[in-house]
């Protein structure tokens, strides 16, 4: 099992504050392979962000198993996810310091390589997050995530707050990075169009449960569940 999947979640249950009667996540199972981009769609309250936090270990599951390779996470609100009091350079050093990379020159070399990978110019190193645009901040966050050398990247609505043209750039960047580094990506979003553009396989969640799961085209053009159909229709997607 573990050889085949980078990430294997089985029968996961989770409840906020331990109230057993109304679980936030109910019997969730999913697998992620190397180099795969899995889309997770659902509306607010569906539990998709909670799932991400359990998978990264920010929350502890009530029951079930979560076996994941090394994970890193990028967040929706790049304004809140980058420490406003620190420069980009400090943030990129800090990730590596916490990884135990003691030598400053080594860290600096890695940083320059990473900036190149996320297509951000070197001049932004001494900027504070508030001095960057939304797209640039998102690139910094991706660079930070990748510097911790993850096998699985969990992206919680990473483009929802961005302008459409910037969204497109970030989505294609994620696609390229996943290819080049054989990185598994769990892409969480409420935007079905973006998910279609980026992902190979898609999971639909509602009220803490997985409603439907399938390969992208099968799910988008041959949906089985009423809820999936309703979502597609609302997004103006002609699935019939």
Smallest distance from the beta carbon of 67 to another protein, in angstroms? Answer: 17
CA–CA distance, 29 with 7 (Å, rounded to integer): 10
Beta carbons of 186 and 152 less than 8 angstroms apart? yes
SS (H, E, C) 58-117: CCCCCEEEEEECCEEEECCCHHHHCCCCCCHHHHHHHHHHHHCCCCHHHHHHHHHHHHHH
> Is position 128 an interface residue for another protein (rule: CB under 8 A)?
yes
Q: Which x/- pattern over 75-104 shows residues binding another protein (rule: CB under 8 A)?
A: x-x--xxxxxxx-------xx--xx-----
> Is position 120 an interface residue for another protein (rule: CB under 8 A)?
no
Site size for another protein (CB under 8 A): 55
> Is position 175 an interface residue for another protein (rule: CB under 8 A)?
no
DSSP code, position 229: H
**Which of 56, 136, 138, 178 touches another protein by CB under 8 A?**
56
Site for another protein in 3-42 (CB under 8 A): none
Secondary structure of residue 170 in the 3-state scheme: helix
Which sign, positive or negative, has the C-alpha torsion 78, 84, 88, 94?
negative
Residues at the interface with another protein (CB under 8 A): 43-44, 53, 56-58, 71-73, 75, 77, 80-86, 94-95, 98-99, 127-128, 131, 134, 141, 144, 148, 163-168, 171, 190-194, 196-197, 217, 220-221, 230-231, 233-239
């Amino acid at each position: 099992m573990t050889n085949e999947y980078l990430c294997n979640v089985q029968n996961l249950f989770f409840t906020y504050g331990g109230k057993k009667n109304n679980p936030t996540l109910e019997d969730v199972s999913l697998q992620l392979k190397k180099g795969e981009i899995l889309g997770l769609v659902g509306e607010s309250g569906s539990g998709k962000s909670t799932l991400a936090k359990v998978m990264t270990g920010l929350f502890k599951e009530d029951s079930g198993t979560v076996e994941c390779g090394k994970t890193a996470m990028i967040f929706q609100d790049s304004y809140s996810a980058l420490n406003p009091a620190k420069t980009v350079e400090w943030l990129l050093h800090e990730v590596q310091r916490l990884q135990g990379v003691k030598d400053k020159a080594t860290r600096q070399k890695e940083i320059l390589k990473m900036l190149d990978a996320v297509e951000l110019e070197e001049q932004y190193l001494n900027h504070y997050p508030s001095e960057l645009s939304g797209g640039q901040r998102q690139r910094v966050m991706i660079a930070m995530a990748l510097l911790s050398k993850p096998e699985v990247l969990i992206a919680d609505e990473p483009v929802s707050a961005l302008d459409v043209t910037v969204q497109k750039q970030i989505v294609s960047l994620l696609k390229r990075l996943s290819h080049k580094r054989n990185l598994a990506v769990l892409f969480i979003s409420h935007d079905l169009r973006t998910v279609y553009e980026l992902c190979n396989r898609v999971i639909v969640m509602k009220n803490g449960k997985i409603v439907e799961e399938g390969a992208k085209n099968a799910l988008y053009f041959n949906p089985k569940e009423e809820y999936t159909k309703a979502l597609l229709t609302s997004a103006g997607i002609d699935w019939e």
